[in-house]
Structure 1
Amino acid sequence: MKKGFLKWLLAMACFLLAACAVITVNVYFPEKAAKEAYKSLDEMLLKSGDSPAGEKAPAAPSREPQAKPQSRLFHEFTNFSLIPEACAADNEADALAIELSSMPEVLKAYDDMSRRLPRLNTLFASSAVGLSNQGLISVRDKAKVTPQDESLVAAENQSRKTVIMSMAKAILKLNKQKESKAALDQVLGKAASTYADTKREAAQSGWWVQLQNGRWVQK
C-alpha cells in the first residue's frame, strides 16, 4: 500500500513538472505597428543607390562623439521628443522604428541593402528572382543570374534577416518582455511574415511574389 502511494506521488510530481514545462507566456505582437515601422525604416534608410555612397561622409567629422549610436530617424521624426519606452503606448509604430534605427546592426544592414538595391531591382524586373513569403529573395531562374548575383542575393537575405530579428527584439522590449529563445521564437515568424507583407505591397508591377499560402504570383 505504501509502495503504491509513493508511485502515485511520483506520477503526480512528474505530471506537475510536465505541466509547468509547457506553460509559456504569450507575447503581444503589434502587427499594424510593425508594418508601419518597417515602412518608415525603408522610407528613411533605404536609398535608391543613385547617389554616391560617400556623399554624406564629409559631415560626419563635425558631429560630437556620442555615448550611444545616434539614430538617423531622430532627425526625421520632428514631433518625436520622448524616448521610445515613454511613448510606446501612444505610438507603437514610431517607438519600434526609433528602436530599430538606434541599432548599429540595423543601420549597417540598410547601408548594405541600399548598395544592392539597383542590381536587385534589375533582377526582380527580369523575373530572375522573386520575393518569398518570409520577406527574403529567392532565385527563380538560374539562367538569368551570375555567381556574383547569387552571392548578392545571399548577402541581401542575411541583411533582411538582421532587420527581422531586430524587429523581434524590439517588440520584446516594447512589451517589457525578457529576451529569450522561447520569446524570440514566438514573435520571429510574425516579424518575418509582416516584413514580407510590407515588401509585397511595395513590389513593382511584374515582380514575382509568394503569397502567405506558398503560391507564387506575378504582381
Structure 2
Amino acid sequence: MRRWMGIPVAAVMLTACVTINVYFPAAEAKEAAKEFVEKVIGDQAPAATPQAQPSDGGKPGGSASVSRPGLEWGQLASRIDWLSLAGIGSAHAQSPDISIKTPAIQAIQSRMAQRFDSQLRAHFDSGALGFASNGTVAVRDASKIPLSDRVGVNQAVADQGRDSAAVYREIAVANNHPEWEGQIRQVFARQWVDSAKGGWWYQDAGGGWKQK
C-alpha cells in the first residue's frame, strides 16, 4: 500500500519542474479568421445545420447499460489527472481563445468591409483582383480595370493591404502574444481563399494565380 501511495507525491514533485508553454491555438484562430473574413466579404451561404441523431434508448436492439466491476487501483491511478490535483493545468487548458472583439479590430473590420463592397468587389468579380498569398489583396490583371478607375482601385488595394497588416498585428497584441502575428497572418491568408466566391482568383504558395 505504501508503494502505491508514493505515486501521487512523486507526480506532484515532478510537475513542479514542468514549464507550461501556451501554444498557438490554430483551431481558435481559424474560427476567428472565418468570422472576421466573412463579415468583410459578405454574401456567404449559412452553414448547414447538422441533423440530430435518433436515440435508440428503449428500442429493441438498443444498447443497454452494463454495470462494470470496480476499477483496480492501478487502473484508477492511470485515469487521475495528477496535474489538475496539483493545481497545474495542461498547456491545452492554458491556451486562450483568439479575441477579435476589441474596438480597434472592429474599426478596421468595418473599414475593410465598406471598402470591399464599394471599391473592390466588382474587380474581384471581373478577375482584375485576387487574394495574395501573404493575406492581402493584389492586382492580378490591370487591363481589366477601366483606365479611369485604376488610380482609385490601386489606392483601395494599398489601403486594404495596410489594414490587413494592421489587423493581424492588432489581433496578436490584443491577445497578449505579439509573437503570433506571423501565424495569424498565415491563418487569415488561407481563410480569405476559403471564403472567396467561386470564380475569384488567388495566389498559391509559389505565387502563381489560380481561379477558385
Aligned residues: 139
The alpha carbon displacement at 1:197 in A equals 0.7
Q: Are 1:31 and 2:26 matched, yes or no? A: yes
Contact 1:133-1:210 within 8 A present in 2 as well: yes
Specify the code of the residue in structure 2 equivalent to 1:136.
T
SS at structure 2 position matched to 1:195 = helix
The alpha carbon displacement at 1:143 in A equals 2.3
Q: Are 1:152 and 2:152 matched, yes or no? A: no
The alpha carbon displacement at 1:188 in A equals 2.2
Specify the code of the residue in structure 1 equivalent to 2:98.
L
Q: Which of 163, 167, 174 is the aligned partner of 2:171?
A: 167
Contact 2:24-2:180 within 8 A present in 1 as well: yes
Give the unaligned 5+ runs of structure 2. 1-20, 44-91
- Structure 1 CA distance for aligned equivalents of residues 142 and 169 of structure 2: 28
**Change beyond 3 A, Cα 1:154–1:115:** same
Q: Are 1:139 and 2:143 matched, yes or no? A: no
Q: Which of 40, 47, 50 is the aligned partner of 1:46?
A: 40
- Structure 1 CA distance for aligned equivalents of residues 207 and 127 of structure 2: 17
**For residues 46-97 of structure 1, what are the alpha-carbon distances to aligned partners after superposition, in whole Å with 9 as ceiling and x for unaligned?**
3759xxxxxxxxxxxxxxxxxxxxxxxxxxxxxxxxxxxxxx94884xx323
SS at structure 1 position matched to 2:98 = helix
Residues 13-162 of structure 1 aligned to structure 2 (within 5 Å): 28-43=23-38, 45-46=39-40, 48=42, 89=93, 92=96, 95-97=97-99, 100-102=100-102, 104-118=103-117, 119-145=119-145, 146-162=150-166
For normalisation by structure 1, the TM-score amounts to 0.56
Identity rate, percent: 29
- Structure 1 CA distance for aligned equivalents of residues 113 and 210 of structure 2: 26
For normalisation by structure 2, the TM-score amounts to 0.57
- Structure 2 CA distance for aligned equivalents of residues 190 and 96 of structure 1: 12
SS at structure 1 position matched to 2:205 = coil
Aligned to 2:62: none
The alpha carbon displacement at 1:170 in A equals 3.7
- Structure 1 CA distance for aligned equivalents of residues 41 and 138 of structure 2: 22
Aligned to 2:194: 201
